[in-house]
Amino acid sequence: MTALDLSSPVAVVGTGTMGQGIAQVALVAGHPVRLYDAVDGRAREAADAIGARLDRLVEKDRLTGAERDAARARLTSAGSLDALAGCALVVEAVVERLDVKQELFRALEDVVGDDCLLATNTSSLSVTAVGGALRVPGRFVGLHFFNPAPLLPLVEVVSGFATDPASATRAYETARAWGKTPVTCADTPGFVVNRVARPFYAEALAVHELRAADPATIDAVLRESGGFRMGAFELTDLIGQDVNESVTHSVWQAFFQDVRFTPSLAQRRLVESGRLGRKSGQGWYDYRDGAERPGPHTAPPAEAPAYVVVEGELGPAAELIGLIREAGVEVRPEDGYGAGRIVLPDGGTLCLTDGGLPGSEDLVHFDLALDYRAATRIALSASAGVRPGLLSGATGLFQALGKEVSVVGDVPGMIVARTVARIIDLAFDAVARGVATPEDVDTAMRLGVNYPLGPFEWNRRLGDAWARDLLSHIHEWEPSGRCAPSLALHRHAAAADAREGTPS
């Protein structure tokens, strides 16, 4: 099954931002495109808006004048659904209401031929439910573009329960022919991206609700240590707090209120107050004229130790040994058992967070970094009773490596580590349930939400048992079940333990 021929007309129903973007993608790819909107006049306005964007593409040398003129000639606004007869593909981008979408597709079946591919761009509704009332449900598929559709490469091709494999293949090949990077997935709440991405927001909100750190500090640690392009609070302000919370709530409800997807009360209160983010002028941050953006908590300068003792293997933090030496701090290696640690001259110990609490007055945890050499900030955590001077010595050590240091509360798993571990866990769970392949999950998370690594790439880098062990420790301290490792992650880690002869 191949992509639709370029001579085949494509229709887009719904001419908001997403509908216009999808229409532009199909148009620039070479298809005749018909726009329809139930509100009189909006299809014509959308056609004019797309024409203006084509003009800007010419100004940026991304289209020639001749290509623009040809595209404009292929674009028409339809005055009724009947004008969509003869289309080979109809993509719906109307309001996210099941009854509205079902009524639309039932009406479309009376207009288009039985070989016309019907697609929904829904991000929160069940593809199976939307297409369930159709006379020919096998030709119905989800085509979930990401906003803005002309710029973002990812398209999730979602097969509902009744979708014919040939229809999904044709949709996939057509999206690829349009210059997109499609991934295939089953019809599950949130599909791939909105399912696997929930912990990125949830863990930041959890750390904030536990009063371990403020939004600006959490965002800075996620960016500067975790390698994420944006922090969770600034990203939800950009998306819209109401939109982000609605997706979270939808996924939670669709999974029968699974505790792993529980929405945040803090975000609920923000939405109730009307602070929806950039679009309302206030969210977690203040975007009004003259407002000053708060900075992250950054520790004052401290003295670096003359030497450190490194006991055992530091695992994901092994790169720190070379960085410490390069900073002129002597490293004295010693054999050790269990998790590796860095010991300061006064006997205080630094360890990469393992999902537990520091507990001891002689222990400071540091957070995970995507790349300890490239990281510009490191988070430290200690118990309230930490021995005086130990936190200062730990701060001075990381400052000697050229890092800003943020001291956060003693929350299990800190910030980056618990976030990455939960993303890995949901990815393994999704694959085990047949939602998508590991390769498609990694592609979806890198392209759909700009993660620096896909979950399975992270798992290979950190070790097969790392996420399981960290989440198990968090679960001991927070036994709600929200951070408990999935059966899929347990199986994967146990298999790795067996290969290495390590007791599970």
Interval 308-347: pLDDT, tens = 999 999 999 999 999 999 999 999 988 766 679 999 999 9
Average pLDDT, the chain: 96
pLDDT in tens, 436-452: 999 999 999 999 999 99
Copy the structure tokens of residue 179.
Answer: 């210059």
Whether 144 is catalytic is yes
pLDDT of res. 108: 97
pLDDT of res. 418: 98
Task: Give the rounded distance of the alpha carbon of 371 from its chain centre.
Answer: 19
Query: Distance between CA atoms of 366 and 358, rounded to whole angstroms?
Result: 10
Residue 504 one-letter amino acid:
S
CB neighbourhood size of 326 (10 A): 12
Could you please report the per-residue DSSP string of 265-331?
HHHHHHHHTT--BGGGTBSSSB-STTPPPPPPP-PPP-PPPSEEEEES--GGGTHHHHHHHHTT-EE
The answer to whether 240 and 199 are in contact (CB under 8 A) is no
Counting DSSP H helices and E strands in the chain, the numbers are 19, 15
Nearest Cα to 332, choosing from 312, 353, 354? 312
Residues 6+ apart with CB under 8 A from 267: 201, 205, 236, 241, 244, 245, 248
The answer to whether 29 and 179 are in contact (CB under 8 A) is yes
Whether 8 is catalytic is no
Query: Distance between CA atoms of 411 and 206, rounded to whole angstroms?
Result: 9
Set 159, 167, 194, 250: catalytic member: 194
The confidence band for 16, taking pLDDT boundaries of 50, 70 and 90, is very high
The confidence band for 32, taking pLDDT boundaries of 50, 70 and 90, is very high
Set 156, 203, 224, 245: catalytic member: 156
The answer to whether 323 and 399 are in contact (CB under 8 A) is no
What is the mean predicted confidence (pLDDT) over 348-374?
Answer: 95
The answer to whether 213 and 406 are in contact (CB under 8 A) is yes
The answer to whether 345 and 305 are in contact (CB under 8 A) is yes
Copy the structure tokens of residue 138.
Answer: 């096998």
pLDDT of res. 347: 93
Sheet architecture: strand order including 330-334? 330-334, 307-311, 341-343, 349-352, 363-366, 377-382, 404-408
What is the mean predicted confidence (pLDDT) over 402-431?
Answer: 98
pLDDT of res. 339: 74
pLDDT of res. 1: 67
CB neighbourhood size of 314 (10 A): 20
The confidence band for 504, taking pLDDT boundaries of 50, 70 and 90, is low
Set 92, 109, 144, 234: catalytic member: 144
What is the mean predicted confidence (pLDDT) over 272-295?
Answer: 96
Q: Of residues 499 and 36, which shows the higher confidence score?
A: 36
State yes or no: pLDDT of 104 exceeds 70. yes
The answer to whether 100 and 126 are in contact (CB under 8 A) is no
List the alpha helices (DSSP H) in 17-85: 17-29, 42-59, 65-74
Whether 450 is catalytic is no
pLDDT of res. 59: 96
Query: Distance between CA atoms of 100 and 133, rounded to whole angstroms?
Result: 12
What is the mean predicted confidence (pLDDT) over 237-257?
Answer: 95
Q: Is 138 helix (H, G, I), strand (E, B) or coil?
A: helix
Query: Distance between CA atoms of 102 and 99, rounded to whole angstroms?
Result: 5
Query: Distance between CA atoms of 452 and 334, rounded to whole angstroms?
Result: 34
Residues 6+ apart with CB under 8 A from 309: 332, 333, 334, 342, 343
State yes or no: pLDDT of 503 exceeds 90. no
Set 77, 121, 123, 244: catalytic member: 123
Whether 297 is catalytic is no
pLDDT of res. 388: 85
CB neighbourhood size of 108 (10 A): 21
Query: Distance between CA atoms of 238 and 5, rounded to whole angstroms?
Result: 37
pLDDT in tens, 165-221: 999 999 999 999 999 999 999 999 999 999 999 999 999 999 999 999 999 999 999
pLDDT of res. 412: 97
The residue behind tokens 């979408």 is 101
Burial of 407 (0-12, 13-18, 19+ CB in 10 A): middle
Q: Helices 455-462 and 438-448, interaxial angle, to 10°? A: 110
* E strand or H helix at 92: strand 89-92
> How much of the chain is in helix, strand and coil states, percent to nearest 5?
45, 15, 40
* CA dihedral sign, ordered 389, 394, 398, 403: negative
What is the mean predicted confidence (pLDDT) over 106-125?
Answer: 95
Copy the structure tokens of residue 101.
Answer: 């979408």
pTM of the model: 0.95
The answer to whether 152 and 125 are in contact (CB under 8 A) is no
Query: Distance between CA atoms of 403 and 91, rounded to whole angstroms?
Result: 49
The confidence band for 496, taking pLDDT boundaries of 50, 70 and 90, is confident
> Whats the size of the chain, residue-wise?
504
